[in-house]
Structures are given as C-alpha cells and as structure tokens.
Amino acid sequence: MNARQEAAIQTPLRDVATKNMDPICWTAELIGRGTGHTVRCLKRIGLPRIVWRRPRRADSLEDVLRRAILAETARTGIALSGEEIRELIGKIVELLRNVFSGEIGVGAIPSVAELVRSGSVFSDFLVPMIRESGGLSESKREMLRRILEDNLQLRQASLEAERQ
Amino acid sequence: MTNSEFSASKKRQKTSKRTKTASAPKAPTLLVGIDLGTSRTAIASSNGHRLGVSTYVGKPKDEVSEKLFGKRLLFGDEALYNRMSLDLLRPLKDGVIQTASGTANEHVDAVQALLAHVVSLVSPLDNDVVYGVIGMPARASISNKKLLIDAVRDVFDAVMVVSEPFAVAYGLDILTDALIIDIGAGTMDLCRMHGSFPTEDDQATVSKAGDFIDQTLSDLIRQRYPRAQFTLNMIKAIKELHGYVSDKEERIEVEFTVEGRPRMFDITAELKRACLGIVSDLTKAIYRLVGSFDPEFQKRLRDNVVVCGGGSQMTGLRMLIEKALDELGGGRARIVDEPVYAGANGALKIANDMPDSFWEHLRD
C-alpha cells in the first residue's frame, strides 16, 4: 500500500464528498482498480451496499465498518464490546489493505458476519463486570441501595393495591 | 386482542414459577438487563445472550391465521411482518405502558407476554432463578413504574425498574460529571451524573422523540406529495437509514408508489425538518440540567455529554449538540459505541452488582 492509499483510507468521506466523488469511485481510486472489482471487494466483506452508497458525510471508512458490524451484531444477537468492535475494525482494515495491495484475493476475505462470529467472546464483556463486582465501591453500593429502596416502595404499594 | 388470551398465559407462568422455586431453592441465578423501549426492546443476560426485539405483539385475527402461524401470539419483527393477518399491538407509548380506561388492560398483558418471550429467547434453564432489571424513562411516574412491575412480576423471580439513562451511565461506568442523553422512540431521557444516585431534579424526560419525527415526516411528505403511498413503518425505516440534522448537500430520494406504480420522491428537506423537530426540546432540557447544576462543575458536565439510543444515529447530531453547548460556553459530546444495547448492558451490570441479599428482599 502506498502513502497515497494510506492517506486515503483515513480520509473522512466528507472530504471525498467535497470533491464530488462517489464513494465507490473513491475506493476504486484508492485500490487502484476498477469500480467492478471494488464493488466485489466490498460485497464480499459484506458491507451493506446501501450503507456504503449513502455514507454520512462525516464518516471515515472506520465509521462505515463500525455501522456494518453493529448491524451484524444486532441481527445475530452476538455480543461484542466496544473494544472488540475496535479490534474487529482493525482486522477488517488490515484485510482491506492486503486486498488493496494485491497480497490476497477478494475470495479470501471473510465476511463481516464471519468476522463478527469468530470475534465474539461475550465472556470478555462479562468478565470485567464480574471482577468488578467483587469490590463494589461505597458510592456504587449506595446507588444500588437506593434502587432497592425505590423498588421496595413500589412493590409495597403494588402488594397493598392487590390486597385491597 | 382479548385479555383472556394473555391471562391464560399469565396463569401458566405463575404455576411454572411456583414449581420451579419450590423444588429448587438453591437454583442458579440468571440475571437479565432489559431496555424496554417504545419501539425496540433489548435484552442482555448473564449467560451471554444479547438481542433486540421490536416492541410489537400480534395475535392471529382468526382461526385460519392461527393455524397458519401455529401459535397464539407473535412478537417483534415476525409480528410486524405478518401484520396483515394479526391484531397488532404496540403496548408502549411515550416510553410507558399505554393505559386504557378500563381495569383490564390489554397493553399490560401484551408487555407481560412480550417480556416472557424475550426472557425465553435468552435460554433460561428450567431451574434458573431469574432476576431482572428493566430500564424505564427517567421521569416515569410512580403509577407507570408500578404498572410495569405488576405486569412482569410473574415473569421474574424478582424484578427492579431503574431510570434508563442512569442504567446507561452505570453500564459505561460514567458515574460522575456526565450528562447522559438517551434518544428513543417514545421519549428522550436525560440524566446528569455527579457521583451519587440521581434525584428527580437531575433527570428530564422529553416526550418528543423518534415517533414524533416519524409522524412529522409522514405529515410533511403527505403534504408535499399527496398521491404518494406509504405507511408509518416505511417512514420509520427511511428515518433510521437516512435521518440527519447536518447541513449535507446530497439529495435523499426514496421510492414510494403512486396508485401502485413506483416513483422516486425527493424528501431531503422534509427529513431534515422532521429530524430537527426534536432538537429544540432537547436543547432546552440540556440547558435546564446544565444551568441548574453547581456552577463550579458545569464545565465538567458540558465536556462529558454522552448520547445513546436509536436517535443518536442521526447524522450530525453530535455536532449539533456541541453547537448548542456553545451558548453555555462550549462542551463536548460523544455517541456511545453500542447505542442500541447501552441500556440493556447497563441494566445487566446493575443486576450483576446487586448483592444477593438485596434481591432476596424483592422475592415473593
């Protein structure tokens, strides 16, 4: 990947838009290949075409990828933490770079769905939570106590209404 | 939808729960966090599931459709997709259960059935004790909270309700010097965090949110293109895909039919106007919460505005909020990584942190 391509991958689409350039043409220029090849790359990765075709102006490639991953996690119910999503984006960007530089062919790119599935370690999301619960700070414990108090009052009112 | 349908399922759940708790007093605990939204309900559970369901409940219209579906109730997107053969119910309005004039309320029963359904989707084991935390609008009334607890008591072994933006803050571990904004379909909820449990004064609920945008957009398009054929569901999908409040120049064209024939319609201006419709109320709520905060800490609050919920996905919203903060001396806003699950994640974290002894107080 050359310096121009490296710079282009970081370019917010807003800047692409000011050049009045179609994002597909922008990517094609970035790859140095035709638009057909570019579309095949993006389709293979599984980026929803509509998301790609109508990017938000402030979006960078990473933003577009993030949205695709979020859509996939919402669709499949597979949970990824923010950090996992960031890692995954890094992985996809790396793959794109390899495709762009011609190191790997389009067929070797896993789809976003496959990446999301392979990258899913929900326990990673829970582990810090459970670890933290061992040592609840006083302020957190107080907050939880207040929640309990509120809910006990609600429950009491509810039981009284039921009795009446 | 008749109430007897729901009541029957209620009785079944009660029976099964009694058996469950009686036979397994030391059963493993399944914790669930739920963001019960007007448009979408998200659940995260301690056994690793996380998913979202549209907040719709449908009952087959007649015996033919009941035979077709092979079940008495349909939920979420399945209900929406098959709505022509169903009596479709959207049980929440403005973030809370819709209340009818009579005592028997089909919306209450629908919420119960929906939550029983979403809990079943996270695969609880037969002997699991299920503890749930449910997020509600920040300023939901006592009666609304009570109504929800009454509705779902049979679904959980113990249940708590919390303010939705507080759950988000707790989940993200932003418990001090932050303003949380949760933009949903029914309400926009705001909560300022200052290291202690937020009081009523720390929170605000604005009942102009996603649904308001949908209705406004629908009205505006109807006004400009009276012959275009569309439904509110189509409008909602368009908003979710293209919604924006920025100064973008590209045109947004969507396909509707006119007497069955597909046509393209330019809705760029209408969409922006509709999306901007909630901004003035949002700005006022931000000004109120920041303006009434301790002046020494106002800057910290302004610099830590966290936005979540489906509405946070509108292009340009972050910049618009920052622009609004300029009037107060400037500030910074950010959109959370997982806008749709932030509430459910936080509710699960609260459930997880809640000591067992606290849960015991709430068990029947």
ipTM score assigned to the predicted complex: 0.82
Same-domain pairing of B37 and B158: yes
- What pLDDT is attached to residue A14? 47
- What pLDDT is attached to residue A129? 35
Chain A hits for B48, CB-CB cut-off 8 Å, are: 79, 122-123, 126
Same-domain pairing of B227 and B150: no
Compute φ and ψ for B92, nearest 5 degrees. -110, 145
Q: Is residue A73 over pLDDT 60? A: yes
Residue A83: closest CA among chain B residues belongs to which residue? B337
Q: What is the pLDDT of residues A116-144, one digit of tens each?
A: 555 432 323 322 333 344 457 778 888 99
Which one of A48-52, A160-164, B313-317 scores highest in mean pLDDT? B313-317
pLDDT tens, per residue, chain B with 364 residues: 444 444 434 433 443 443 334 443 455 788 899 999 999 999 988 776 778 899 999 999 998 888 889 989 999 999 999 999 999 999 998 888 887 654 448 888 999 999 999 999 887 887 889 999 999 888 788 888 888 998 888 899 999 999 999 999 998 889 999 999 999 999 999 999 998 889 989 999 998 999 999 999 999 999 999 999 999 999 999 998 889 998 876 788 999 999 999 999 999 999 999 999 999 999 999 999 999 999 999 999 999 999 999 899 888 899 999 999 999 999 999 988 778 888 998 999 899 888 888 888 888 6
Using the Cα atoms of residue A23, residue B314, residue B40 and residue B212 in order, give the sign of their dihedral: negative
Say whether B50 and A145 touch across the interface (CB within 8 A): no
- What pLDDT is attached to residue B246? 87
Taking the C-alpha atoms of residue B152 and residue A122, their distance in angstroms, rounded to an integer, is: 27
Token pair of A109 as six digits: 């790119």
Decide if B325 is inside a domain: no
The one-letter amino acid at B167? A
Compute φ and ψ for B159, nearest 5 degrees. -140, 145
- What pLDDT is attached to residue A11? 56
Residue B257 contacts residue B225 (beta carbons within 8 Å): no
CA distances from B260 to B142, B218, B255, B263 (A): 48, 19, 11, 9
Tally the domains of chain B. 2
- Domain limits of chain A? 3-120
Chain B hits for A70, CB-CB cut-off 8 Å, are: 338-340
Taking the C-alpha atoms of residue A125 and residue A116, their distance in angstroms, rounded to an integer, is: 14
Chain A hits for B197, CB-CB cut-off 8 Å, are: 142-143, 146-147
Q: Rounded mean pLDDT of A17-32?
A: 56
The one-letter amino acid at B299? K
Decide if B23 is inside a domain: no
Say whether A152 and B246 touch across the interface (CB within 8 A): no
Chain A hits for B352, CB-CB cut-off 8 Å, are: 126, 129-130, 133
Same-domain pairing of B347 and B255: no
Taking the C-alpha atoms of residue B96 and residue B107, their distance in angstroms, rounded to an integer, is: 10
Residue B30 contacts residue B128 (beta carbons within 8 Å): yes
Choose from A21, A60, A148 for mutation: most chain B CBs within 10 A: A148
Same-domain pairing of B156 and B215: no
- Number of alpha helices (DSSP H) and beta strands (DSSP E) in chain B: 14, 17
Among B214, B160, B159, CA closest to B184: B214
Q: Is B29 on the interface with A (CB under 8 A)?
A: no
- What pLDDT is attached to residue A49? 46
Residue where a domain stops, chosen among B246, B276, B306: B276
* Per-residue confidence band for A17, with pLDDT thresholds at 50, 70 and 90: very low
CA distances from B125 to B43, B79, B264 (A): 17, 26, 51
Q: Rounded mean pLDDT of A90-115?
A: 59
Shortest distance between the Cα of B278 and any Cα of chain A, in A, equals 20
CATH of the domain at B250: 3.30.420.40
- What pLDDT is attached to residue B362? 84
Residue B156 contacts residue B131 (beta carbons within 8 Å): yes
Domain that holds residue B259: 210-276
Tell the residue number behind the tokens 């009037």, with chain if given. B327
Q: Is B127 helix (H, G, I), strand (E, B) or coil?
A: coil
Greater confidence (B57 vs A73) lies with B57
Shortest distance between the Cα of B241 and any Cα of chain A, in A, equals 8
Indicate the residue of A57, A74, A142 with minimum beta-carbon distance to B52. Answer: A74
Percentage of chain B surpassing pLDDT 70? Answer: 90
Say whether B48 and A122 touch across the interface (CB within 8 A): yes
Question: String of b and e for B317-337 (b: at least 16 CB within 10 Å)?
Answer: bbebbbebbeeeeebebebbb
Among A160, A57, A96, A58, CA closest to B149: A160
Other CB atoms within 10 Å distance of the CB of residue B14? 13
Say whether A79 and B50 touch across the interface (CB within 8 A): yes
Residue A20: closest CA among chain B residues belongs to which residue? B250
Residue B156 contacts residue B177 (beta carbons within 8 Å): no
Same-domain pairing of B232 and B133: no
Same-domain pairing of B89 and B159: yes
Percentage of chain A surpassing pLDDT 90? Answer: 2
- 3-state SS, one letter per residue, for chain A: CCHHHHHHHHCCHHHHHHCCCCHHHHHHHHHCCCHHHHHHHHHHHCCCHHHHHCCCCCCCHHHHHHHHHHHHHHHHCCCCCHHHHHHHHHHHHHHHHHHHCCCCCHHHCCCHHHHHHHCCCHHHHHHHHHHHHHCCCHHHHHHHHHHHHHHHHHHHHHHHHHHC
Same-domain pairing of B162 and B218: no
- What pLDDT is attached to residue B2? 45
Give me chain A's average pLDDT, please: 61
Distance from chain centroid for Cα A114:
14
- What pLDDT is attached to residue B153? 86
